[in-house]
Amino acid sequence: MADDSASDAPLFTRLPNELLDAVTSHLDKASLCSFALTSKRMIASATDALYMQYNNSDPPSVAPFALFLCTLCDRLDLAAKVKMVHIRGAAWRVDTVPKNEKATTKVLKEGGDPLSSSDNFTKFVEAAVKAKMMEKRESYPVTPLKDHTKWYTTLRTERDFVRLLGHGVEDAHVLLMLALLLQLQSLIVDALPPYPTLDWHLFFSRTGTALRSLRYLALFGTCTTARGPSVGINLGILDMLPDLQEVHMIDLNVAFDKKGAKVFLSKNIESVTFTNCAIDLNSLKKVLVNQQLNAFRYGPGVGPKRFKTEDYFSADSLSELLTSSR
């Protein structure tokens, strides 16, 4: 690797950081890796560009989220560089016992050898404790995975979180990963599953920092037919996003639960899209109140969630609501 301090260093290595950053913004991943190896000074610009965005649409057998999560746990300075995340959702492993795996209870003590299916359990637990997602304890029981699933439920306890971490369930990996990305501005999740998942609002609210820099949020479910299972999303998560500007929900049952937020925390919402979504009028009011929208798109959806007659809304009521929101 070249030393930039040498008097005969190429002029290219003496360019201002702003120009180097502009160069790296046009390079693909392979080129960025090569660029970083040219000299010590190039590493900073190349690293910023390499970690600015995390995309993962590959199946777990090819690119498990745990690999990227390990990097974040080892190098929190790299976590601060990630601004955009676009990940798959449909391949998330369900919280059930895999075939041919006997249900057993496992325990991992701090400093001990990993007894769970994940070799990185200790590292992940330590990161979760540091992020304030869970309490520091002397030991962490890893209970068996459930032998069945129930659609439209969320997992809310620390025991649930430890169980999923201990068995390598990617839902827990994604939750922890997002909690560590303090500068994240854009999040896109494709094909959320209708199976039990950890409660984002509950665990992220514990951290006091997770998703607080988010400006763009797009969540895709799987509600495409009346008979098929649909994904429910609790919009209570939006009460912790002060800088949010754009919200896009596709193929989802959208609602606030009884403990959810009353309105958006952000007053800077510019665009809201609900495509093929089931949402009641009261929830829609909570989304739009006191906002100065530039764009609003709504495409009614179908799903097993049923609303009372008075919860449905007409074009007139929607028009009145949008007018009052401005």
**Domain boundaries, position 38:** 10-51
Q: What is the pLDDT of residues 138-153, one digit of tens each?
A: 999 998 887 766 666 7
Decide if 74 is inside a domain: no
Q: What is the pLDDT of residue 237?
A: 79
Q: Is residue 281 part of a domain?
A: no
**Domain presence at residue 40:** yes
Residue 37, domain member (yes or no): yes
35 domain-assigned: yes
Lowest mean pLDDT among 36-50, 69-83, 132-146: 36-50
Q: Is residue 42 part of a domain?
A: yes
Q: Are 225 and 197 in contact (CB under 8 A)?
A: no
What mean pLDDT comes out for the span 47-72? Answer: 92
Q: Residue with structure tokens 């994904």? A: 231
Give pLDDT, residue 216. Answer: 96
125 vs 38, higher pLDDT: 125
> Please, what is the end-to-end C-alpha distance for the chain in angstroms?
58
Residue 18 inside a domain? The answer is yes
Place of tokens 């199946």: 59
pLDDT digits (tens, 9 = 90+) for 165-204: 988 888 899 999 999 999 999 999 988 877 777 888 889 9
The reply to whether 20 falls in a domain is yes
Q: How far is CA 10 from the centre of its chain?
A: 42
The count of domains in the chain is 1
